[in-house]
Structure 1
Amino acid sequence: MTKKSNPELDLSDVDHRVGKPVGGGQLWDPCSASDIRRWVMAMDNPNPLHWDEEFARASRYGGIIAPQSIAVALDYGHGAAPACVGRIPGSHLIFGGEEWWFYGTPVRPGDKLFQDRRFHDYKVADTSFAGPTMFSRGDTVHRNQHGALVARERSTAIRYLAEEANKRGKYENQLGEIKRWTADELTEIDALRHEWLLTTRSGISPHFDEVKVGDTLPRRVLGPHTIASFTTEYRAFLFNIWGTFEWVAPDGVDDPWVNQDPGWVDGFGFDEEGARIDPRLRDGLYVGPSRGHIDADKAGEVGMARAYGYGATMGAWCTDYLANWAGNDGMVRHIKSDFRTPAFEGDVTYFDAEVIDKQTDTTWGVPLVQVKLRLTNQDSGVLVSSTAEIELPH
């Protein structure tokens, strides 16, 4: 009897790219006020500083500014492009986490962000989800048209063999039927959402001296998540709108990995040449690696039980939730978020956070409050675990 060999990832096109700058997409147009409004609408972030012209003009900013999370919406590929480098045949990708550093330069209507990208490193581990699984990291530096540093990101991609994940069916075994919410439950969710948005609407920042270790932040809820909400989120990432970007490559790099095929399974790739005539052939809601987010059948082909949300969206939720608490005179300086499980169709997401430390001497040159944030679903399953350092007025 022949012993069945274990599946393996083909990393022959990955190793030689480690540590090298890579290319990707660059948006043609500056960020508009409508782009900002579309983004906060998709993230269900009702902070009036980002959409209400009268409110924003009366603020210290004198007009609408984008939330801190906007950098990922003005990037290509949900910010994960430099973590998805090299062709791995038969693979798929989900997001594993993000780490962000912010430098105090707000994005305003009319600004344009430029990105420098580098494939940082990877490791391979055996997981119950898909067997041999790559955890790869990539770095992106975001600067505006004046060269001012806006943010840095380190993204983590999880790359795995879709066939193996589909055979193991981890999420399908864990999930039951889509949750059907009663009218009373939905009323309770709406009341909690409304209560949270009132706590941050004024933009008044807590003072560093007033905040104490052990303080909890107001609870937030998102959802129930639906195909409509996932679609709204995807369309707020500007790169997926027809004709919005060009391919760019760093100078002096041989084979800089600009728009090559990462090895997606059949039915999940783009037709770059065909899209010159029919742009729908690279529209991620219809074709490409993101189609499983809104198509339960396609989700099943890559190991997911049903339609599911976006990693970059969860990262943005975390950043903006904390930035809203920090108010108009505060900001998130650093946040590291580990993604544990997606937000599935029918679920809701709860935000619970606690102050765990106060730091007076920091590398940022200002005192910082450290906050631990967890995102969970209605069954207490953890979606995201984040730790952030937040600047407050002092």
Structure 2
Amino acid sequence: MTEQESEVRAKLRALVGQPTGGTGLPSVAPDPVNQPMIRHWAHALDDMNPVYLDPEFAASSRFGGIVSPPVMLQTWTMPSPKLEGIGDRGGAPVEILSNPTAFLDEAGYTSTVATNSEFEIERYPRLGDVISSTSVFEEVSDEKTTALGTGFFLTWLITYTDQNGEVLGRQRFRVLRFRPAR
């Protein structure tokens, strides 16, 4: 193992338990859980569950009212797209200055592919809930060789809570950062 490889592995291991970027503070949804967005989601995905759409049915259900599809947790906390100046940059996205994995690019692991996402649901979001999320690196694999190339699987754990701090669910999001196969 070269000195650079040892340094990369040490930096990767040091990520575990650390925020995935930014300040580490919770990301707060720009809007409370609301019926119009639930309706748009349900129609877009053809998920016509009446607890999402029918107030009378939902009121008599175990939920006692309209709830959000639980996998919308991620959607509620997504930031607005940052499009200012995109024409001036030739359509290029803005580089995240606080990217804690930038050292992987420098070490040649320049490609990224999302591999999977898993949800654990504690409670369905209700109308009016204000959802927040925090994200930390949960796990980093040893170096693996795949058909795409050689790299590391990085798993981050995103925890979603309501306005009272009650955990609504968790999401494990995994990516492969790799050196493309030649």
TM range (shorter): 0.5 to 0.7
Contact 1:14 1:85 in 2 (8 A): no
> Which one of 158, 162, 166 corresponds to residue 140 of structure 1?
158
The two structures have a TM-score, normalised by structure 2, of: 0.66
Query: Per the alignment, do residues 157 and 76 of structure 1 end up closer, same or farther by CA in structure 2, a change over 3 Å counting?
Result: farther
Contact 2:134 2:158 in 1 (8 A): yes
Q: Deviations over 1:41-83 (max 9, x none)?
A: 2332121221233432443434321122121222348xxxxxx
What secondary structure sits across from 1:21 in the alignment? coil
What secondary structure sits across from 1:142 in the alignment? strand
State the one-letter code of the partner of 2:46.
D
State the one-letter code of the partner of 2:169.
A
Counterpart residue number, 2:30: 28
2:120 is equivalent to residue 101 of structure 1: yes
Equivalent pairs counted in the alignment come to 148
Q: Distance in 2 between matches of 1:122 and 1:58?
A: 45
2:78 is equivalent to residue 71 of structure 1: no
State the one-letter code of the partner of 1:127.
T
Q: Distance in 1 between matches of 2:15 and 2:115?
A: 20
Larger Cα-atom Rg: 1
**Offset, 1:23:** 4.2
**Offset, 1:158:** 1.7
> Which one of 54, 58, 61 corresponds to residue 59 of structure 1?
61
> Which one of 36, 43, 58 corresponds to residue 45 of structure 2?
43
2:16 is equivalent to residue 18 of structure 1: yes
Contact 1:119 1:139 in 2 (8 A): yes
Between 1 and 2, higher relative CO (CA 8 Å, sep ≥ 6) is seen in 2
Correspondence 1:147-158 to 2 at 5 A: 147-158=165-176
**Offset, 1:38:** 2.0
State the one-letter code of the partner of 1:99.
E
- The unaligned stretches of length 5 or more in structure 1 are 1-7, 78-83, 168-394
Contact 1:85 1:119 in 2 (8 A): no
2:110 is equivalent to residue 110 of structure 1: no
Q: Deviations over 1:77-112 (max 9, x none)?
A: 8xxxxxx85113263322222333222x22112111
**Offset, 1:121:** 2.3
State the one-letter code of the partner of 1:20.
Q
Correspondence 1:1-394 to 2 at 5 A: 11=8, 14-15=11-12, 16-23=14-21, 25-76=27-78, 85-87=100-102, 88-89=104-105, 91-103=110-122, 105-123=123-141, 124-128=143-147, 130-161=148-179, 164=180
What secondary structure sits across from 2:70 in the alignment? coil
**Offset, 1:12:** 7.8
Aligned residues with identical type, % of pairs: 26
Q: Distance in 2 between matches of 1:13 and 1:29?
A: 39
**Offset, 1:33:** 1.1
State the one-letter code of the partner of 2:73.
A
Query: Per the alignment, do residues 85 and 23 of structure 1 end up closer, same or farther by CA in structure 2, a change over 3 Å counting?
Result: closer
Contact 2:28 2:130 in 1 (8 A): no
Q: Distance in 2 between matches of 1:127 and 1:115?
A: 31
Q: Distance in 2 between matches of 1:22 and 1:135?
A: 14
Contact 1:98 1:154 in 2 (8 A): yes
The two structures have a TM-score, normalised by structure 1, of: 0.33
Q: Distance in 2 between matches of 1:48 and 1:59?
A: 9
The root-mean-square deviation of aligned C-alpha atoms, in Å, is: 2.9
Q: Distance in 2 between matches of 1:42 and 1:117?
A: 27
